Amino acid sequence: MSISTPVLMDSQKAAKYLAAISGIRIMVIGDLMVDEFIWGKVNRISPEAPVPVVSVTKQSLAPGGAANVVNNIRSLGGQVKVAGVVGDDAMGEWLINALKKSGADPVAVLADKGRKTTLKTRVVAHSQQVVRIDREDLEPLSKGLKADLVQQIKNHIDDCDAIIIEDYSKGVIQEDVLDEIQTLTSDKKKLVLVDPKVFYPKQFRGMNILTPNHHEAGAFAGIPVTNEESLMKVGRQLLDVLTGSSLLITRGEEGMSLFEANGDITHIPTQAREVFDVSGAGDTVIATMACVMAAGGSMKEASILANYAAGIVVGKVGVATCSPQEIIRILEGRL
C-alpha cells in the first residue's frame, strides 16, 4: 500500500488521452432530469415576508442529473448512448429532443405515462442561488418498465466501451436493475463507473470505481468524514466491502481521494481557483473519469484530469461542462 499526492499532469500525455475521447462510446444509465434556471436581480426585500424579491430577467432549461453527465461527455468529445426514464409530458419530450440535439443517442430512454419528468428549478440572482424548487416522482419503476429498460440496455451494450451508472434516487437505479447490469457488464468485461446515492455493496462489487462525495461515503460506512483520519477509515472500510472495486471520494474544497482496489491511496488537491456554483461538479468528475479511462488512461491519471475538469466547471455559474481545450489550457497555465 502507498499513500501519495500526485504531481501535475503532463499536458502532452493529457492531450493524447483527450484527443482519443472522440472515438470513445459510453452508455449512461440513470435518473434523467431537467434543470430550469430563473435568472434575475434583487433590489428589495418583500413586505410580505423577510425574503428577497427577484425581478426575473431570463429563464433557461438544461439537461440535468444523468443527462448532465451525457452533456459533459459530449463536451469532451465522446459518443453517448442514454438509458433512463422520463415522464410522458412536455418536459420529457423537451429532454429527449435536447439529448438528440447535443449529439447523444437516447436509445433506451422510455416515457412513462405514470410519472412526471423530474424538474429542478433554481432561482439565481447576482450569480447566487436564492432557492431551488423540486418537482419529481420518486416511485420505483414498475416491473414492466424495468424489464423494458433492461432489454433496451442489453440491445445496445455491445456498442459501448464503458458504462456510467448515475443514481439520484429518483426510481431508476434499484437492486434488481443493478443485478442485471452487473451480469451484463461482468460477462462482457466492460468498464463500469458508478455515482451512487444508495449503497448496494453486493451489486457494486467488481464494478471498476465508485465516485461518492465525502458525505455519501461517510453515510455508506456509518462514519462521518470530518478529518483525514475518518476519511481513511471510511475509504478502507468501503474497499473491504467492495471487493475488487476502487473508490474516488470527492471532497469539495479539499479535492479528491482515490482509494484503489490494489491498496494505493492518492490525495488530489483541488484545482478550483474561484467557486461560483458546485451544481453538477460530480457529473463532470465521473464523465471525465470514464472518458479518460476508456481512452487508455490509468485510474490515477483519470482522477487528476477529472479534478482539473471539476475545478473549471465550479468556476462557472449554473450546471456547466468543460472542453478538452479548457483542460489543456489550465494544465499549461493559460487559463
Q: Known catalytic residues?
A: 283
| Distance (Å, whole) CA 198 – CA 31 | 13
Closest Cα to residue 212, out of 305, 128, 286?
286
Helix (H) or strand (E) holding 84: strand 79-87
The 3-state secondary structure of 295-315 reads CCCCHHHHHHHHHHHHHHHCC
Q: Looking at residue 22, what DSSP letter applies?
A: G
Longest dimension (CA), the chain: 63
Half-sphere exposure of 326 (CA within 13 A, CB side): 20
Cell 481557483 sits on residue: 273
| Phi then psi dihedrals of residue 259, to 5 deg | -110, 105
195: alpha, beta or left, given left = phi > 0 and alpha = psi -120 to 50?
Answer: beta
| Distance (Å, whole) CA 45 – CA 53 | 6
Beta carbons within 8 Å of 247's beta carbon, 6+ residues apart: 209, 210, 211, 212, 217, 235, 238, 239, 258, 259
CA-to-CA dists, residue 88 to 33, 115, 118, 308, angstroms: 13, 7, 11, 38
Which grid coordinates are listed for 45?
426585500
